[in-house]
């Protein structure tokens, strides 16, 4: 069973790229981020014509997350709990029946947080506190649970080609990195790092300054697995080649393979 996350950076602009990747990879559940579309404007028909079930939590012009799946989810919840006043569309979670077990899969688009010293960084850290609290509640249920998406966090120096270039960026601040570690310390597993501990593993290359051509990337798209989901982990892949396609997103898909019969 293949679970994937991809910051598509504008789904309407990149629908052909998305469809080509879906046809090539054939995942079972996909979380999209930064769809930059209201729900009614999402290109649902093109996906449904290929057999995809679509759930969205959109917002005009920016943000927005979505779930694509071969089978419809039994339950869908929109919005990260903990702040009823938060109107930014950054979190959607579904529940699927997988054999005798249920699997929770969330697509998240964590705030960027720049510039430092503004309410945007405060909002980022507050959002991460809410995410940690949500994960703690979900973990208590002992249902296999996946938090996948664009975290906008560079966890370690080896997750950037040039860490020194990011020291004044919200993605690499000690507070951001500590919040990510606290999430993992609840008992979650960083799927990419469980499969590969090497440097030079990136999921994002900026459009500027030839970053893709120079492989000047960072790893900010993560898949965090609960213990019950981690027990079923079989492999992880980063579909780096998609960054070289025509009209690419600046992010690439991260794909996790799990054995549904091993879900605890």
Question: Average of pLDDT values for 87-114?
Answer: 96
> What is the reported pLDDT for 87?
95
pLDDT confidence bin for 44, thresholds 50/70/90: very high
One of 57, 134, 222, 251 is an active-site residue; which one? 251
Range of the domain at 224: 2-262
Q: How many domains would you assign to the chain?
A: 1
Q: Say whether pTM exceeds 0.75.
A: yes
Check pLDDT > 90 for residue 100: no
**Binding site residue list for Mg(2+):** 7, 34, 150, 152, 250-251
Report yes or no: 104 and 146 within 8 Å, Cβ to Cβ.
yes
**Binding site residue list:** 7, 34, 150, 152, 250-251
User: Of 105, 118, 114, which Cα lies nearest the Cα of 72?
Assistant: 105
| Element at 199 (helix H, strand E) | none
Question: Average of pLDDT values for 96-100?
Answer: 91
Q: pLDDT, tens digit, for every residue of 142-173?
A: 999 999 999 999 999 999 999 999 999 999 99
Question: Average of pLDDT values for 65-83?
Answer: 98
Whole-angstrom Cα distance, residue 93 to residue 16? 25
Reading the block at residue 222, the tokens are: 């993560």
> What is the reported pLDDT for 165?
97
pLDDT confidence bin for 136, thresholds 50/70/90: very high
Check pLDDT > 90 for residue 99: no
Question: Average of pLDDT values for 245-253?
Answer: 97
One of 109, 151, 172, 202 is an active-site residue; which one? 109
Q: pLDDT, tens digit, for every residue of 201-235?
A: 999 999 999 999 999 999 999 999 999 999 999 99
251 is catalytic: yes
Check pLDDT > 90 for residue 264: no
Whole-angstrom Cα distance, residue 240 to residue 91? 24
What is the CB neighbour count within 10 angstroms for residue 130? 16
CATH number at residue 121: 3.60.10.10
What is the CB neighbour count within 10 angstroms for residue 62? 13
One of 28, 150, 159, 190 is an active-site residue; which one? 150
């Amino acid at each position: 069973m293949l679970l994937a996350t991809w910051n598509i950076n504008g789904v309407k602009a990149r629908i052909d790229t998305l469809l080509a990747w879906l046809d090539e990879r054939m995942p079972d559940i996909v979380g999209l981020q930064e769809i930059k579309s209201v729900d009614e404007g999402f290109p649902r028909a093109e996906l449904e014509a290929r057999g995809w079930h679509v759930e969205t939590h959109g917002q005009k012009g920016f943000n927005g997350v979505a779930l694509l799946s071969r089978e419809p989810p039994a339950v869908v919840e929109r919005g990260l709990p903990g702040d009823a006043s938060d109107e930014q569309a950054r979190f959607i979670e579904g529940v699927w029946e997988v054999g005798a077990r249920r699997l929770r899969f969330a697509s998240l688009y964590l705030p960027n947080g720049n510039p430092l010293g503004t309410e945007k960084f405060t909002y980022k850290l507050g959002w991460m506190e809410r995410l940690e609290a949500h994960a703690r509640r979900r973990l208590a249920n002992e249902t296999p649970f996946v938090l996948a998406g664009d975290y906008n966090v560079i966890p370690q120096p080896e997750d950037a080609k040039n860490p020194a270039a990011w020291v004044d960026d919200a993605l690499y601040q000690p507070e951001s990195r500590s919040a990510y570690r606290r999430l993992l310390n609840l008992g979650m597993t960083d799927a990419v790092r469980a499969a590969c501990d090497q440097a030079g593993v990136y999921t994002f290359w900026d459009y500027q300054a030839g970053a893709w051509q120079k492989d000047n990337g960072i790893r900010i798209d993560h898949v965090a697995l609960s213990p019950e989901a981690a027990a079923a982990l079989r492999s992880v892949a980063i579909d780096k080649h998609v960054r070289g396609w025509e009209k690419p997103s600046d992010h690439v898909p991260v794909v996790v393979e799990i054995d549904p019969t091993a879900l605890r």
